[in-house]
Structure formats: C-alpha cells, structure tokens
Amino acid sequence: MKNTFGNNLTMTIFGESHGPCIGITLDGLPSGFPVDQKAILEDMKKRKAAGKISTQRHEDDIPQIVSGLFQGKTTGTPLTILISNKDQHSKDYESLKGRLRPGHADYTAYKRYNGYQDYRGGGHFSGRLTACMVAGGSICKQILAARGVKIGSHLEQCGTILDKPFSSDKEQCAREIDQMNQKAFAVLDPHKEDAMKQEILLAQQEGDSIGGILETVVLNYPAGIGDPIFDSLEGLLSHGLYAIPAVKAVSFGEGFGFARLKGSQANDAFICNRTIQTRTNHNAGINGGISNGMPILIHTCIKPTPSIYKTQDSVDYLTKENVQLKIEGRHDPCILHRARIVVDCMCAFVLLDAWMSKAGLEAFMEDPYAC
C-alpha cells in the first residue's frame, strides 16, 4: 500500500527532507499503553548527527504527538507524530536540478513520478525520513519491553574494522544489549571504537564515505510467531529493514555462511531444560518462518553514503547530456552508527505487528474498568 506497511498494526510515513515537516501515523496500537516520551527522545538522540563523523545538518528532532494519545496513554485510534525540518539548505541543490546523483534515487524517482518529485535533499527518498521510523518504532519497542523483549544492535563491521559479536550466553547478551543501548557509538570492543572513527574520518578527508554491517539481537520473543511461506518472520523483518534507504542486504544467523556448512553443522539440536531450546542458534531463532523462542539474530548491511565530495560522471536528464557532477552541501561520511537505532525500531514494529497477528489486539490491551 504505497507508503503504508504492516498487517494488524500499520505505519504510514510522509513528508520530504526539505519540506516543513515529516511524520508517521501508527494505526492499530493497543489502547491504554503509557507512552514514555522521554524514551522516544532518547532513541531520537541516538539517530541525531553529532561530532565530526556526522553531517553538520542539525535538526532538533523533537517528535510532536498530535493524535492517538490522551493523558499519556494510547487511545487506540491512529497515533500521528510530526517532526519539524528546520535546518534545510535547499540552495545546495539548485545546481543539481536535473543532474542525477550516482547512488541516489534521483533517476528512479524521476521515472516513477514523471519529473514532479521533490529533488531537494532526496525528497521523500531521503534518510531524513528514518527519524519517523525511530519515533514510531520507539513506541513499539516500549510495548515489547513491557513484555520482556529486549532489542539491541552494535556495529559489527565499520569499513574494514570488525567488532566482536554479541555473546551466545543469553544473560551476558542481555547485559551487552543494555550497554549498547546506552552508547552513542555502539561497539562491544572498546578498542575498536577509535579505529572505526579514524576510518570514517579518513574517508571524510578523502571526500569519500564508508558503510558497514549491524548485528541485531532480539531476546525473549515468544515461540510460535510468524507464518510459513509469504509472511515468514524473516520475510517480514526483511521487508521492514529494506524500507531503510541505505540497507542493501539482510541475513539471519549464519546467513550466507550456511553455504560452507554441512547439515550436521547447520542444524540446531533441540534440548529440554524446563523449556524447549536449541543447543546452538545457527538459524537465528526462526524455523519455517516462525519464531522458536531462541534469540533472533539479524545482520544488516548499510551501504556507503552516496553523497560524496568527489567529481563523478553523470547525466543531466533535462538536457540529455553527459556531465560531471560534484555534490556540495552537508553529508555523512558514514551513517552506520546513526542507523543502528533505526534498525532496532523497525524490528520492534515488525515483531509487534507479527505478535499481534497471532495473539490479537485484545492481548495487548488493559481495561481499567474490567470487573
């Protein structure tokens, strides 16, 4: 449905990078849930640009909930959040009108919308709209957290620098999630943080950019959620994650590593220790598209920021001439560290929607007048 995603719970995202505001509407939330707006602000802060390794476009990113919330609790009707755009430099894009920026959606947007698209800052295709995903997904994350579900990500790889993986021990992993959720630059090995930042700064000095991989883990998600074939949990999560503009690959557990394993290595043996579990977790907590209660492990590849300061070959679609293009303006040399909270929040939305598909809306609602 165009800019709407979800089944029982839906999100609709609207706005453009250089318009007056961007926003999101969540429809299908349970009524009576107390929304922690300070927690939303904390998540928004993790996505905000900060320091030398990020863009110098600085937005307040204060979400304004304009419907669906009354006396601090969800009403169950559509909840709409608006986020103002205040630090646009639209003049930086005047010289680019008609000129296709390599790696961006300029050409495809032109073909899709017949030249009527807002090209400033990427318009509706901009990573700016991921702020909406965080604002809405943060509420979903709170609803899941109230039921014991933990979600966290770290920078598994930034450029050529590798971090250590999340622990396979559930209690240690839970502590690591808590640690990552308190950090602006989420790296498990503190010795790798400076190396990653130096690689980002080096790319910036060269007028270039780098990408990387995020590792995300979900703990305490119940078994039995998801559907076979078309609405598999992997499929739904991938659908949500590919809505993030910079995402170019998503894998689960061993992912492409399964190609080098034998069945005896890839299979996760079942054991019973009060509850049914698996001894290993190569399959990332999902079998047949349905959660099995083990941690859900996701690897998300974020491509290098396409806005770089090097001269590139391009085409002017207005004149149909080959041109050389050099992008001006304010751009991130790497968005990996800012994208991790976007991934967390999109996963939270998908997982809540999938859970509601099985349990129903009533399972997530409290009736203050129940007798």
DSSP single-letter state for residue 221: P
Nearest to 176 by CA among 201, 138, 150: 150
Give residue 371's pLDDT band: very low, low, confident or very high (50, 70, 90).
Answer: very low
In a domain, 201, yes or no: yes
Nearest to 301 by CA among 177, 181, 173, 212: 212
Task: Count CB-CB contacts under 10 A for residue 102.
Answer: 16
Nearest to 43 by CA among 145, 121, 193: 145
**Tens digit of each residue's pLDDT (9 = 90 or more) over 241-250:** 999 999 999 9
The predicted model gives 247-259 an average pLDDT of 98
Give me the sign of the Cα torsion angle 61, 64, 68, 73: positive
DSSP single-letter state for residue 123: G
**Tens digit of each residue's pLDDT (9 = 90 or more) over 262-271:** 999 999 999 9
- What is the distance between the alpha carbons of residues 149 and 283, in angstroms, rounded to a whole number? 19
Residue 94: pLDDT over 80: no
The predicted model gives 80-94 an average pLDDT of 75
Helix 130-145 and helix 37-47, axial crossing angle in degrees, nearest 10: 130
In a domain, 50, yes or no: yes
In a domain, 68, yes or no: yes
Q: Is the pLDDT higher at 347 or at 121?
A: 347
- Does the annotation place 101 within a ligand binding site? no
In a domain, 91, yes or no: yes
In a domain, 315, yes or no: yes
H or E stretch at 276: strand 275-278
Enumerate long-range contacts of 194-202, CB under 8 Å, 24 or more apart. 195/161, 196/155, 196/158, 196/159, 196/161, 196/163, 197/53, 199/158, 199/159, 199/160, 199/161, 200/53, 200/158, 200/159, 200/333, 200/334, 201/52, 201/53, 201/333
- Does the annotation place 52 within a ligand binding site? yes
Nearest to 358 by CA among 217, 235, 231: 231
By the 10 Å C-beta count (0-12 exposed, 13-18 middle, 19+ buried), 358 is classed as: middle
The predicted model gives 250-277 an average pLDDT of 96
- Which two tokens mark 319? 């004149």
Residue 202: pLDDT over 50: yes
Task: Count CB-CB contacts under 10 A for residue 356.
Answer: 22
- Does the annotation place 165 within a ligand binding site? no
Find the DSSP H helices in the chain.
37-47, 106-113, 130-145, 170-180, 190-205, 233-241, 263-266, 336-359
Question: Whole-number mean pLDDT of the chain?
Answer: 92
By the 10 Å C-beta count (0-12 exposed, 13-18 middle, 19+ buried), 271 is classed as: exposed
Give residue 191's pLDDT band: very low, low, confident or very high (50, 70, 90).
Answer: very high
DSSP single-letter state for residue 29: P
- What is the distance between the alpha carbons of residues 278 and 232, in angstroms, rounded to a whole number? 20
- What is the distance between the alpha carbons of residues 75 and 84, in angstroms, rounded to a whole number? 24
**Tens digit of each residue's pLDDT (9 = 90 or more) over 155-184:** 999 999 999 999 999 999 999 999 999 999
- Does the annotation place 306 within a ligand binding site? yes
Give residue 88's pLDDT band: very low, low, confident or very high (50, 70, 90).
Answer: low
Using DSSP, state whether 118 is helix, strand or coil.
coil
- What is the distance between the alpha carbons of residues 97 and 329, in angstroms, rounded to a whole number? 14
This prediction has a pTM of: 0.94
Assess contact for 90 and 96: CB atoms under 8 A: no
Residue 54: pLDDT over 70: no
DSSP single-letter state for residue 303: P
Q: What residues have CB less than 8 Å from 356, skipping those under 6 apart?
A: 8, 9, 28, 30, 363, 364
In a domain, 370, yes or no: no
- Does the annotation place 124 within a ligand binding site? yes
Residue 17: pLDDT over 90: no
**Tens digit of each residue's pLDDT (9 = 90 or more) over 294-319:** 999 999 999 999 989 899 999 998 89
- Does the annotation place 125 within a ligand binding site? yes
- What is the distance between the alpha carbons of residues 237 and 349, in angstroms, rounded to a whole number? 9
Q: How many domains does the chain have?
A: 1
In a domain, 301, yes or no: yes
- Does the annotation place 330 within a ligand binding site? yes
Q: What is the percentage of the chain residues whose pLDDT exceeds 70?
A: 93
Using DSSP, state whether 117 is helix, strand or coil.
coil
Can you give the CATH number for the domain in which 104 is found? Answer: 3.60.150.10
Note down the domain range covering 261: 4-361
In a domain, 369, yes or no: no
pLDDT at residue 93, rounded to an integer: 62
